[in-house]
Amino acid sequence: MPQTGAAKPSSLLHKQIPIVTRSVKGKFRNFKTAVMVVAYSIYFLLPWMPWQRNSAADQAVMFDLESRRFFIFDLIVYPQDIFWLAMLLFIAAALLFFTTGLIGRAWCGYFCFQTLWSDLFIFIERMIQGERPARLRLMKQPLGAEKILKIGGSHALMILVSLWTAVTFAAYFSYAPDFVIALFTGHAVEAAYITVGVLTLTTYFAAGVIREHVCTLACPYARFQGVMYEADTLAVSYDSKRGEGLKGRTLPIIGLKTRDERQEKGHGDCIDCGFCVQVCPTGIDIRDGLQYQCISCGLCIDACNNIMDSVGYPRGLIRYDSEKNLSSDQPKPARLEWKRVKVIGYATALLIAAGILLYNIGTRNDTDVSVQQVRQPLFIMLSDGSYRNRYQVHIVNKTELDARYQLSVRGIPASSLDLGSLKEVRVRAGKSLIMNAKVDLERTIAQQTEKFEFVVTSSNPDTAPVVVPANFNSQR
């Protein structure tokens, strides 16, 4: 069979060598562990925090979809406050841009859930299967009791953690103690089982099976964060000038052990131990320069510093530094360069958005009123020639107590408002009510009236009256 130019294997389809990371000690590892402990404590414990409430379950943070209210400590968020979500998303985006512009992909390396859960699952693997060499040995081993037990055991534990992650997530949406009991006794709603099932599978799959592929192949943030890098941005970098010297890196063989010997022969400080590659959770070699796969977790810095300490060279062959500083003739100690238009711009946007959100949350009225005019027909002529307009008044009680509301008008005679026999309406805590209002105006007044106001007064003395403008239509 004649062979034509054999198809070049696609790098996308090329079989990946599984990444088995070595553990490392150092300040970045400690920081990552600290973030993990804090983040997990918040995530897993928050649904269990009690909080005194009048109109709902005593749970500090509960996203109650059934009553369409989100309880966040003393703040109750209603569907009408959807604007807050938009602001929150904008703030999150601005914060991401700001930090990335300043110190690179800090989000990816230390805070992202993918990183946190992968880190935890790698920790589980290390606890059960041992350090990197032991895990590699286990992988090559033929199938046997030890392999099944260790690998199966670690995956079983991962699935358990995934399950509890999913249960915790679902617990945010209903009263946690009741929910967990109902879930495991088969009494929870269908949606709960679907949520828990899907989240267990996706958590296990993303953090336990495909891991770094989420960052390199699936995550859009990973890709577009590269756009926010500038020459001044601090990034995890290998000092290639120092590491390679004139003739490149080399092993510390006899005659090349001390720095002086190496510099004399033109070799750099990198002793090519490969430790930085072994600890990398995405399996890259930082010495090849900045790469899109780098999640900026700093573990290679810890690894290299440990090696530098052991061979007695100065630390910082791999460090947080800017591209500009690294390529300059006289590199200075790395420092945060924040006086840049982009960084200051992001910071300003962040402050403005946060200010608007906080102001809006702080000044929200406990009574939300919207008035919708019945537009079909816009106005009705009555038998005595006067005009009638009809309105639907939507009152939302955002407090935790039932309240009574009175509706009145301002700018037109009080007697023109017809509410049937509803002098006062009761709106339950956290609920809303739509009531009909008819406004009849005499012909001459009607023709002069274009605008007036509805005033809704609450029986709760702490709640300010709400004034809503309305239009009056008539044949002019």
Partner 1 sequence: MSQDNNTNTTNTTGHVWDNDLQELDNPLPRWWIWGFYITFVFTIVYWLFYPAWPIGDNYTKGVPGLNSITYTATQPNGEQVEKTTHWNMRSKFMVEMNELQEAQKKWFDKVAAMPFEDVQKDAELMQFVNSVGKTMFTDNCAPCHQQGAQGKIGFSPNLADDHWQYGGTYQNIEETIVAGRNGYMPPFKEVLQDEQITQLANYVLEMSGEPHDAEASKAGAALFRSETAACYYCHGENAQGKIQMGSANLTDKIWLWADIPGSKTDAAKLAEVKRVITGGLNRGVMPAWSGRLSPAQIKLLTVYVHDSLGGGK
Interface residues toward partner 1, by CB under 8 A: 1-4, 6-7, 9-10, 13-16, 374-377, 380-385, 388, 390, 392, 420-422, 425-426, 433-436, 438
Q: Say how many CA atoms lie within 13 Å of 316 toward its Cβ.
A: 8
Tell me whether residue 16 or residue 348 sits nearer to partner 1 (CB atom). Answer: 16
Strands annotated E in 295-447 = 318-322, 367-373, 380-381, 387-397, 403-410, 417-418, 425-427, 432-441
Q: How far is the CB of 136 from partner 1 (least distance, A)?
A: 20
Question: Closest approach of Cβ 115 to partner 1, in Å?
Answer: 23
Helix (H), strand (E) counts: the chain: 17, 14
Judged by CB, which is closer to partner 1: 107, or 387? 387
336 token code pair: 């945060």
Token pair recorded at residue 305: 């510093």
User: Whole-number minimum distance, CB 191 to partner 1, in Å?
Assistant: 17
User: Between 135 and 390, whose beta carbon lies closer to partner 1?
Assistant: 390
Residue 109: count of CB within 10 angstroms of its CB: 22
- With tokens 């939302």, the residue in question is 396
Least Å distance, CB 139 to partner 1, is 16
Report angle CA 135, 308, 257 to the nearest 5 degrees: 105
> Per the omega criterion (within 30 degrees of 0), is the bond before 333 cis?
no
Residue 426 Cβ, how far from partner 1 at the closest point, in Å? Answer: 7
Taking the least distance from each CB to partner 1, the nearer of 18 and 50 is 18
**CA 355 to chain CA centroid, nearest Å:** 20
Residue 88 CB, nearest approach to partner 1 (Å): 32
Question: Looking at beta carbons only, is 39 or 381 nearer to partner 1?
Answer: 381
Closer residue to partner 1 (CB): 291 or 436: 436
In angstroms, give the least distance from the CB of 331 to partner 1. Answer: 42
Task: Specify the residue, 9 or 312, whose C-beta has the smaller distance to partner 1.
Answer: 9
The helix/strand/coil state of 417 is strand
- β strands within 193-352, DSSP E: 234-238, 318-322
Buried b (16+ CB within 10 A) or exposed e, 384-408: eebbbbbbebbbbbbbbebbebebe
